[in-house]
Amino acid sequence: SQTIHQWPATLVQPVGSPLSLECTVEGTSNPNLYWYRQAAGRGLQLLFYSVGIGQISSEVPQNLSASRPQDRQFILSSKKLLLSDSGFYLCAWSRDEGDTQYFGPGTRLTVL
Amino acid sequence: AQSVAQPEDQVNVAEGNPLTVKCTYSVSGNPYLFWYVQYPNRGLQFLLKYITGDNLVKGSYGFEAEFNKSQTSFHLKKPSALVSDSALYFCAVRDLNSGNTPLVFGKGTRLSVIA
């Protein structure tokens, strides 16, 4: 069976510091991978998605970037965090772009 | 373009009563529709999906959803609500004629089941 991991589970960072969140998927190959941000327990904002190694589509221009160095690894980064980067970050995978997405447990990021 | 709307931010229902969480969609072709549930500080969990076939789709935890093409709706239902059903519910859509595009999620509806 497939599983998806995210770490860390929680993170508190000062404004201006760098960020690296990691997502890995087990039990499948060539997954489509997604990063979402959820603010204040409400709607999801799709940040990035990837259909293969090194292929990243950005949905919203902002202070964040994503990379996919390996088939089942997806990393969300920032060089300098802003207060507005605080939120709940969710990683998801699917077999195809429009197929069922399966979500990880999320990372709660607080920028102070 | 594809879009989905969840017209209610909050739905309150008494335990044991039937519940409905509403979702309407807009696509140019045929829709591929999903429901997810999110408990506090957790990731989203897949409940059910509709592609083609029977308009009534049954999913996890006793939930079902009815696809209505004429009303462009995909409402989530459960005959008897439990307190443990209290959570945030998301509807999502993809237009099958739009090529390879990610799902579009609604803003979510918070369901509160009162004992």
Per-residue confidence in pLDDT tens, chain A, 112 aa: 889 999 999 999 999 999 999 999 999 999 999 999 998 767 899 999 999 999 999 888 678 999 999 999 999 999 999 999 999 999 999 997 678 999 999 999 999 9
pLDDT at B97: 79
pLDDT in tens, A51-75: 999 999 988 867 899 999 999 999 9
pLDDT at A97: 67
Q: Is the pLDDT of residue B98 over 90?
A: no
From CA B12, how far away is CA B20, in angstroms rounded? 10
Nearest by CB to A102, from B46, B90, B94: name it: B46
Contact A49 B102 (CB under 8 A): yes
Cα(first)–Cα(last) distance of chain A, in Å?
Answer: 38
State both tokens at A35.
């990063």
Give the number of beta-carbon pairs within 8 Å between A and B: 56
pLDDT in tens, B70-90: 999 999 999 999 999 999 999
Contact B102 A90 (CB under 8 A): no
State both tokens at B104.
């579009």
Query: Is pLDDT larger for residue B45 or for residue A43?
Result: B45
Q: What is the mean pLDDT of chain B?
A: 94
Angstrom CA distances, B25 to A3, A32, A43, A104, B83, stand at 30, 24, 16, 26, 28
Contact B49 A100 (CB under 8 A): yes
Backbone angles phi, psi at B61, to 5 degrees: 60, 25
Residue numbers of A between 1 and 40 with CB closer than 8 Å to B: 32, 34
pLDDT at B49: 95
* Residues of chain A neighbouring B102 (CB-CB closer than 8 A): 32, 34, 46, 49, 97-98, 101
Nearest residue in chain B measured CA to CA from A33 = B102
Query: Is pLDDT larger for residue B98 or for residue B44?
Result: B44
Contact B102 A105 (CB under 8 A): no
* Residues of chain B neighbouring A100 (CB-CB closer than 8 A): 34, 46, 49
Buried b (16+ CB within 10 A) or exposed e, B32-66: bbbbbbbeeebbbebbbbbeeeeeebebeeebbbb
pLDDT at A63: 87
Backbone angles phi, psi at B83, to 5 degrees: -55, -35
Query: Is pLDDT larger for residue B100 or for residue B13?
Result: B13
pLDDT at A61: 64
* A108 shares contact with chain B (CB less than 8 Å): yes
Nearest by CB to B43, from A96, A100, A106: name it: A106
pLDDT at A96: 77
CB contact set of B98 (below 8 Å; sequence gap of 6+): A98, B2, B27, B28, B29
Q: Is the pLDDT of residue B1 over 90?
A: no
pLDDT at A41: 64
* B95, B2 contact by CB (below 8 A): yes
Q: 3-class secondary structure for B43-102?
A: CEEEEEEECCCCCEEECHHHCEEEEECCCCEEEEEECCCCHHHCEEEEEEEEECCCCCCC
Asked if omega into A8 is within 30° of 0 (cis), the reply is yes
* A9, A23 contact by CB (below 8 A): no
